[in-house]
Chains A and B, each alone.
Chain A
Amino acid sequence: DTEVTQTPKHLVMGMTNKKSLKCEQHMGHRAMYWYKQKAKKPPELMFVYSYEKLSINESVPSRFSPECPNSSLLNLHLHALQPEDSALYLCASRGGTSGTFTYEQYFGPGTRLTVT
């Protein structure tokens, strides 16, 4: 089963709100990713967690705050977002278990975020 789940499916928030996106995988993968995707563009990497530690931050503004509570869960906390942050937010996990990574990534269905 190569499934990554994300909640919520849709989110509308005002610029002063605080909200969180959630991602879960039960494939035993030890690397998880957050991407942002705008219409007709490829996914754009935001953060990488490897063995529950933040390994890559692609210079993302601090209004996005990632968290990895355990090896199966990944959260993205949102605060004081701007309308230009409206996008599809994708979570992915990287293949491989038992300390051996492979290179393919499995994506969740995404959360469609609208900032008003």
Chain B
Amino acid sequence: QKEVEQDPGPLSVPEGAIVSLNCTYSNSAFQYFMWYRQYSRKGPELLMYTYSSGNKEDGRFTAQVDKSSKYISLFIRDSQPSDSATYLCAMSDYNQGGKLIFGQGTELSVKP
């Protein structure tokens, strides 16, 4: 079993839809959670960074962490074609020496 599980998709939604992307994990020591967006042939771009449980909102993006269920989510409101990309979750704990453990990435396509 992988430490971090993420549905690879692909996920296709119409423009304006609410998108929900999710990751589950097995290591209860993870405390630091990130979401990255990666356009084709580009480097990953940090979208959201959260510590421990709770919600964080930034514009159309909301990140949620539920440590009791070992489950994190990224919601995208009013999705746009420019949101079409691969979304990677990543996480770490104090003992990882700065290593990030990535999910496999979810490929999202937003159709006009």
On A, residues with C-beta under 8 Å from B are: 2, 4, 6, 31, 33, 40-43, 45, 48, 50, 55-56, 88, 90, 94, 101-110, 112
Interface SS of A by simple majority: strand
Number of inter-chain CB pairs below 8 Å: 64
Given A41-B104, A42-B88; A104-B98 close (CB under 8 Å):
no
Which of A88, A103, A110 sits near B32, CB closer than 8 Å? A103
B46 touches A104 (CB 8 A): yes
Residue contact A103 to B92, C-beta cutoff 8 Å: yes
Bound-state Cα–Cα, A2 to B98, Å: 18
In the assembled complex, which residues on chain A have CB atoms less than 8 Å from the CB atom of B60? Answer: none
| CA A43 to CA B107, docked complex, whole Å | 15
Residue picked from A31, A50, A104, most chain B C-beta under 10 Å: A104
Which stretch from B13-21, B36-44, B64-72, B74-82 is at the chain A interface?
Answer: B36-44
Interface centre among A6, A42, A43, A88 (most CB of B within 10 A): A42
Alpha-carbon distance between A88 and B43 when the two chains are bound, in angstroms: 9
Mask of B73-112 contacts with A, CB within 8 angstroms, 1/0? 0000000000000001010100001111011110100000
| B99, A56: Cβ atoms closer than 8 Å | yes
Residue of B nearest to A107 (CB): B43
Q: Is B63 part of the contact surface with A, judged by Cβ < 8 Å?
A: no
Q: Select one of A55, A90, A104, A110 contacting B34, CB under 8 A.
A: A104
B57 is an interface residue with CB less than 8 A from chain A: no
Q: Is B45 an interface residue when CB atoms closer than 8 A count as contact?
A: yes
Question: Are B97 and A109 in touch, CB under 8 angstroms?
Answer: no
- The answer to whether A109 and B100 have CB atoms under 8 Å apart is no
Which of A56, A106, A108 touches B97 (beta carbons < 8 Å)? A56
Whether A48 contacts B97 in the complex (CB less than 8 A), given A40-B105, A42-B88, A42-B103, comes out as: yes
- Check A103–B104 contact: CB distance below 8 A: no
Chain B, residue nearest A44 (CB): B102
